[in-house]
Amino acid sequence: MSRKKLVAANWKMNGSSALVNMISTTLQSIAPQVDILICPPATLLSAFPTAHAFQLGGQDISAHVAGAYTGQISAELLLAAGARYALVGHSERREYQFETDQLIAAKVATAVAAGLTPLLCIGETLAERQQEKTEQVIAKQLAAVYASHPELLQKSVLAYEPIWAIGTGESATPEQAQQIHAFIRAELAKYDADAAQQVKILYGGSVNAENCAALFTQPDIDGALVGGASLKPEEFAQICLSAKE
């Protein structure tokens, strides 16, 4: 099945109004040719031009609809700021904010209920990979979200991010990444076979202009979640162009 590729940018705790203007100008002619998602810090969401051909997303979302949850951001607030996606379960939040699979599952459900598309991040640590636990870890992460609520799958996007490759300059080979993406799709088929064939599964982990083309040729890699390279407008544009059908 042919799935249109999606290139997503995670700016993490970086960015400025100047970068917003540069990236918006650079992507102006490219965005109609490929699906692009920018996830800046929440304070920059409203800084993007009203008319743009790419999508915006939040880097996190609260599992709560509203209330006394200082520092959290709700789906309603993200939507009001122009976001249509929300990253969920990024490895940095799993590690530094101690987010559990159960909390991440609740966030995915909250996002879908509000009309946002959750971009669920999954992946293994270097130790887990060395212990040959990659598939076990990923299967557990997927089951936490979709085993009880398979209907959420058709409204999700996934990103496989081997934690050992995030921000390290190391990237899985295209063959390694494809092997895990195929495993993920097979696991998802246990919950909803049709949705498993339709859902986009992105690769993340030191994606750059040099390695992206080879990754995009793999049959189960439907785009990329880009970190550091997304802060460089020209390089990010190159990555987006590599994803053009």
Alpha carbons 162 and 176: distance in angstroms, whole number: 10
Choosing from 90, 92, 124, 128, which is the catalytic residue?
90
10 belongs to an annotated ligand binding site:
yes
Two tokens, residue 196:
């498993």
Residue 161 is a catalytic residue: yes
Instruction: With CA atoms as reference, report the closest residue to 110 among 141, 89, 90, 92.
Output: 89
As a 3-state breakdown, the chain gives helix, strand, coil percent values, each rounded to 5, of: 45, 15, 40
Choosing from 99, 161, 181, 235, which is the catalytic residue?
161
67 belongs to an annotated ligand binding site:
no
* CA distance to 112, 141, 146, 229, per residue, from 192 (Å): 17, 16, 9, 34
The phi-psi region of residue 122 (left if phi > 0; otherwise alpha if psi is between -120 and 50; otherwise beta) is beta
167 belongs to an annotated ligand binding site:
yes
* Residue count (the chain): 245
Alpha carbons 66 and 72: distance in angstroms, whole number: 9
Residue 210 is a catalytic residue: no
211 belongs to an annotated ligand binding site:
no
12 belongs to an annotated ligand binding site:
yes
Two tokens, residue 214:
């080879």
228 belongs to an annotated ligand binding site:
yes
Residue positions annotated with a catalytic role: 90, 161
Residue numbers belonging to the annotated binding site for substrate:
10-12, 167, 206, 227-228
Residue ranges of the annotated binding site are: 10-12, 167, 206, 227-228
